[in-house]
C-alpha cells in the first residue's frame, strides 16, 4: 500500500507512515471498504446482475478513485451493456491513474484495433439517437425500424431494448414488448427499468429465467465456439430409394401378373362359342383400351423412375458438400490452437491468415459459416498485414527488393487501407528499374491515399519515373 500523502510504500501492518508520519487508520478503513464494494460488484457481475454491480463499483470508486480493478471491471460491464463510449472512458481514466501494468490498455487496444466493429458500434449509437428523435416526433414506425437495426448491430444495447419495448407497448403490441424485455433481462437480470416495464406487462419475474421460447442472444464478447465438429445435414436419400423400389415393384406386378391375365382372358373369350359377335367385339375393344391405358401408365411410371433416379443422383452429389467446409474447419482449428498459446509472440498469425485466405467464401452455403469466416478475418488480417509489412520492410532495407515485394503484396491483400506497403512496393520496383510498375503503385498512393504522409514523396518519385521512361 502507498501513503496517500507522500506516496511512499507502507507495510500492511503499519498504522502510520514512516516517512511523513501520517495517521493511516482512517485511510485503511476507506481502502478496506472500497475493496469490499469491489468484491460485491464482482460477485454481482458473475451472476449478470450488472445494474447492482455498477452501483457497488461506483461506491468503490467514490471511496478510492485509484482502485484500478474496480474501474476496469466497471468498463467491462458498460461494454457488455452496449455502452461502448462509457466503457472506453473508464478505461482511459484507469490508464491515466496507472499507466503501467494495467489491463485497461489491452481492453482499449482490442476495441480500437477492430475498426470494423468499432464502426458498427458507432453506427448503432447514431441509429439509436435517430430512433429517439423519431419517437419524440411521434414517428413510431420509423423509430421501431431504426431500433431493430440497432439491436442487430449491437445485441447488448439495453437502452435500445427499453425504447423498443416502450414503442411496442405504446402500439399495443405487448407480445413483442415482452420478447424484447426478456432479451434485455438476459443481459442484465436486475435492471430497474426492465423490471418496471415487465411489471407493467404483468410478466412474472420468475419466468425470465425459465422462459425457453425465445432464443438467447449471443454475447459480442464471448469467445469463438470451436466448430470442428460441425457437420452439414445430409439429404435423406433412403426416402427416394424406397420410392423407386415401390415403383419398380408396381411395374413388375403390372408386367408379370396383370397383362398376362388380360391376354389369357382375351384368348379364352375369343374361343368361346357362347358370346355373340357384337358383344365379343365390344369386349375386345374394352380390353384393348385397358391394355393401352396400362401401357401408357407403364410409360409414365418409367418416366417417373428416370426422374427419381436423376433426383437421387443429384442428392447423392450433395454428400460431398462437407468437403467444401474442410478448409474452414482447418482454419478455425488452427486459429484455436495458435490463440491458445500463452505468449503472443509464439502465435502464428500469418499462418492463420493464410489458411483463412484459402477458404472460398462463395462455396459456403451456411450464413453462420460465412459470418464466422468474416469475423475471424476481421480479427486476424490487420495483424497479419502488419507482420508481413514489417518483414518486407526489413528485406527492403537489406536491398532484397524482389523478396520484399512478396511480403508487401500479402500485406496489401490483408489490409488494403494501409498506404505503407503500397508505397514501398513502388519504391522496390523503382529500385529494380521496373519503372512501369513503379509508376502504377506511385499513382495508387496519390489516388487512394491523397492525404497520407507518403503523398509528397510519391508525387516526386512519380515524376522521376516518368522522366526516366521518356
Task: State whether residue 9 is helix, strand or coil.
Answer: strand
> Residue 227 has what pLDDT?
37
CA dihedral over 5, 10, 15, 17, signed as positive or negative = negative
* Residue tagged 478455425 (cell numbers): 332
Query: Distance between CA atoms of 349 and 65, rounded to whole angstroms?
Result: 38
Helices of type H across 341-366: 349-357
Q: Are 54 and 87 in contact (CB under 8 A)?
A: no
> Residue 401 has what pLDDT?
92
User: In tens digits, what is the pLDDT along the chain, a chain of 470 residues?
Assistant: 566 656 556 656 556 665 565 666 777 788 888 888 999 989 988 888 888 889 999 999 888 888 889 899 999 998 888 888 888 888 899 888 888 888 888 888 888 887 887 788 888 888 889 888 888 988 888 888 888 888 888 888 888 899 988 898 888 888 888 889 898 888 888 888 888 888 888 766 544 443 444 344 444 343 333 333 334 344 455 555 555 566 556 655 565 566 566 666 665 655 554 444 445 556 667 777 777 777 777 787 777 777 767 766 655 445 455 566 678 788 888 888 888 888 888 889 898 888 888 888 777 767 878 888 888 889 899 999 999 999 999 999 999 999 999 999 999 999 989 999 999 999 999 999 998 999 999 999 998 898 889 999 999 999 988 888 76
Query: Distance between CA atoms of 16 and 25, rounded to whole angstroms?
Result: 8
Q: First vs last Cα of the chain: how many Å apart? A: 73
Residue from 159, 114, 105, 112 nearest 135 by CA: 159
Indicate the pTM of the whole model.
0.41
Q: Are 425 and 398 in contact (CB under 8 A)?
A: no
> Residue 149 has what pLDDT?
87
> Residue 405 has what pLDDT?
93
Q: Are 356 and 380 in contact (CB under 8 A)?
A: yes
Contacts of 291 (CB under 8 A, 6+ apart): 259, 262
Q: DSSP class of residue 15?
A: S
Partnered with residue 2 across adjacent β-strands are 9
Residue from 161, 157, 160, 163 nearest 182 by CA: 161
Query: Distance between CA atoms of 348 and 337, rounded to whole angstroms?
Result: 10
> Residue 270 has what pLDDT?
55
Amino acid at each position: 500500500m502507498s501513503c496517500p500523502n507522500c506516496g511512499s510504500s507502507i507495510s500492511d501492518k503499519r498504522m502510520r507512515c514512516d516517512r511523513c508520519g501520517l495517521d493511516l487508520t482512517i485511510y485503511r478503513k476507506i481502502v478496506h471498504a472500497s475493496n469490499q464494494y469491489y468484491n460485491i460488484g464482482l460477485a454481482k457481475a458473475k451472476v449478470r446482475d450488472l445494474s447492482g454491480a455498477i452501483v457497488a463499483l461506483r461506491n468503490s470508486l467514490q471511496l478510492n478513485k485509484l482502485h484500478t480493478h474496480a474501474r476496469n471491471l466497471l468498463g467491462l460491464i458498460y461494454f457488455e451493456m452496449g455502452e461502448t463510449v462509457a466503457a472506453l472512458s473508464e478505461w482511459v481514466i484507469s490508464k491515466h491513474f496507472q499507466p503501467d501494468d494495467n489491463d485497461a490498455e489491452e481492453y482499449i487496444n482490442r476495441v480500437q484495433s477492430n475498426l470494423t466493429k468499432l464502426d458498427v458500434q458507432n453506427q448503432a449509437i447514431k441509429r439509436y439517437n435517430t430512433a429517439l428523435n423519431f419517437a419524440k416526433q411521434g414517428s413510431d414506425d420509423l423509430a421501431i425500424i431504426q431500433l431493430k437495426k440497432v439491436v442487430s448491430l449491437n445485441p447488448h444495447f439495453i437502452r435500445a431494448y427499453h425504447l423498443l419495448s416502450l414503442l411496442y407497448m405504446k402500439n399495443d403490441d405487448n407480445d413483442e414488448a415482452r420478447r424484447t424485455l426478456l432479451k434485455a433481462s438476459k443481459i442484465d437480470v436486475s435492471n430497474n427499468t426492465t423490471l418496471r416495464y415487465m411489471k407493467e406487462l404483468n410478466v412474472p419475474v420468475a419466468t425470465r429465467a425459465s422462459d425457453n421460447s425465445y432464443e438467447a442472444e449471443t454475447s459480442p464478447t464471448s469467445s469463438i465456439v470451436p466448430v470442428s465438429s460441425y457437420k452439414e445435414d445430409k439429404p435423406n436419400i433412403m426416402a427416394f430409394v424406397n420410392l423407386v423400389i415401390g415403383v419398380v415393384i408396381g411395374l413388375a406386378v403390372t408386367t408379370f401378373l396383370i397383362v398376362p391375365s388380360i391376354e389369357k382372358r382375351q384368348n379364352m373369350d375369343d374361343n368361346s362359342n357362347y358370346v355373340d359377335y357384337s358383344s365379343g367385339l365390344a369386349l375386345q375393344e374394352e380390353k384393348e383400351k385397358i391394355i393401352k391405358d396400362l401401357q401408357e401408365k407403364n410409360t409414365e411410371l418409367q418416366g417417373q423412375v428416370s426422374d427419381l433416379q436423376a433426383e437421387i443422383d443429384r442428392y447423392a452429389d450433395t454428400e460431398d458438400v462437407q468437403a467444401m467446409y474442410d478448409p474452414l474447419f482447418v482454419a478455425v482449428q488452427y486459429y484455436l490452437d495458435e490463440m491458445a498459446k500463452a505468449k503472443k509472440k509464439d502465435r502464428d498469425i500469418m499462418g492463420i491468415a493464410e489458411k483463412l485466405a484459402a477458404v472460398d467464401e462463395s462455396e459456403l452455403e451456411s450464413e453462420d459459416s460465412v459470418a464466422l469466416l468474416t469475423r475471424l478475418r476481421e480479427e486476424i488480417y490487420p495483424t497479419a498485414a502488419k507482420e508481413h509489412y514489417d518483414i518486407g520492410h526489413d528485406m527492403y532495407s537489406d536491398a532484397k527488393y524482389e523478396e520484399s515485394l512478396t511480403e508487401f503484396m500479402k500485406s496489401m491483400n490483408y489490409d488494403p487501407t494501409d498506404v505503407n506497403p503500397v508505397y514501398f512496393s513502388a519504391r522496390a520496383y523503382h529500385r529494380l528499374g521496373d519503372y512501369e510498375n513503379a509508376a502504377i503503385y506511385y499513382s495508387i498512393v496519390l489516388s487512394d491515399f491523397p492525404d497520407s504522409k507518403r503523398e509528397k514523396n510519391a508525387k516526386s518519385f512519380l515524376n522521376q519515373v516518368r522522366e526516366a521512361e521518356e
